[in-house]
Chains A and B, each alone.
Chain A
Amino acid sequence: MIFTARHAIGAPVTGPALVAHDGFSARYDLDRIAGTFSRPTHKLAGQSYVGRILVLDTAKGGVASAWMLHEMASRGVIPLALVLNSVNPILAQGAAFGNVTMLAGFECDITAQVPAGATLEIDPARKTLRVL
Chain B
Amino acid sequence: MKLDATERAMLGGELGPAAKEALEHQVRVGEFFGAADFVPVTQAHIMADTESLGEPGVRWVESLAAGGGKVRVPTITDPRGTDFAKTSVLGHTPRIVELERRTVEAFRGLGVLMTDTCINYQTIQAPSRGEAVAFGDTGVVIYANSVCGARSNYEGGPSAVAAGLTGRTPRYGFHLDAQRRATLRIRLDWTPVTLNDWGALGGVVGRLAGNYWAVPYLEGLEGTPGSDAFKHMGAAMASFGSIAMFHLAGATPEAAGSGGAALPVAHRIGQADIKALTAAYAAGEEVDVVVFSAPQLSLYELRSLAALCDGRRFSKPLLAVTSPQVKPDADRMGITARIEAAGGHVLSGMCFYQSYAREIAEANGWKRLATNSVKLVNILGGYGYVPLLASMERCVEAAQTGRLAR
Contacts and interface: CB of A to CB of B under 8 A. Distances in A.
B25 A88 contact: no
A128 B218 CA distance: 38
B378 A28 contact: yes
A8 B31 CA distance: 9
A71 B382 contact: no
Contact of A86 (B25, B137, B154, B213): B213
Q: Report which residue of A28, A70, A93 has the largest number of chain B beta carbons within 10 angstroms of its beta carbon.
A: A93
A112 interface: no
A64 B29 contact: no
Contacts of A40: 381
B379 A96 contact: no
A64 B46 CA distance: 11
A39 B382 contact: yes
A86 B213 CA distance: 9
Interface stretch (A12-20, A54-62, A115-123): A54-62
A68 interface: yes
A48 interface: no
Contacts of A64: 47, 49, 51-52, 156-157, 354
Given A86-B213, A96-B32, A62 B239 contact: yes
B53 A63 contact: no
Interface in B240-256: 240-242, 244
B28 interface: yes
Interface string B230-274: 000000001111101000000000000000000000000000000
B33 A68 contact: no
A96 B382 contact: no
Contacts of A97: 25, 156, 158-159
Q: Report which residue of A7, A23, A62, A94 has the largest number of chain B beta carbons within 10 angstroms of its beta carbon.
A: A62
B365 interface: no
B57 interface: yes
Interface string B34-52: 0000000000000111011
Q: Report which residue of B25, B155, B211, B383 has the largest number of chain A beta carbons within 10 angstroms of its beta carbon.
A: B211
A27 B211 CA distance: 17
Nearest to B379: A28
B158 A66 contact: yes
B57 A39 contact: no
B56 interface: yes
Nearest to B48: A67
Contacts of A29: 382
A89 B159 contact: yes
Contacts of B238: 62
A40 B316 CA distance: 26
Task: Report the contact-size class of chain A (Cβ under 8 Å from the partner).
Answer: 35 or more
A35 B157 CA distance: 22
A68 B57 CA distance: 9
A40 B153 CA distance: 29
Contact of A70 (B155, B158, B210, B354): B158
B138 interface: yes
Contact of A66 (B28, B159, B378): B159
Contacts of B28: 9, 96
Interface in B130-155: 136-138, 153-155
A63 B137 contact: yes
A4 interface: no
Contacts of A23: 242
Interface in A49-107: 58-68, 70-71, 74, 86-90, 92-97
B154 A88 contact: yes
B154 A96 contact: no
B57 A71 contact: yes
Contact of B29 (A8, A60, A62, A96): A96
A33 B238 CA distance: 26
A114 interface: no
Contact of B33 (A60, A89, A90): A89
Interface in B54-87: 54-57, 60
Given A38-B382, A39-B382, A59-B212, A71 B154 contact: no
B158 A60 contact: no
A66 B157 contact: yes
Nearest to B214: A86
B384 interface: yes
Can you list the 7 inter-chain pairs with the closest CB atoms, starting with the nearest? A66-B156, A71-B54, A88-B212, A67-B52, A74-B56, A39-B382, A96-B28
Interface of B: 25, 28-29, 32-33, 47-49, 51-57, 60, 136-138, 153-159, 172-173, 210-213, 238-242, 244, 353-354, 378-379, 381-384
12 contacts: A7-B32, A28-B378, A60-B241, A61-B379, A63-B157, A64-B52, A67-B53, A67-B57, A70-B54, A71-B55, A93-B29, A94-B158
Given A27-B382, A89-B33, A89-B154, 10 more contacts: A27-B379, A59-B242, A62-B137, A64-B51, A66-B156, A67-B158, A89-B212, A96-B25, A96-B158, A97-B156
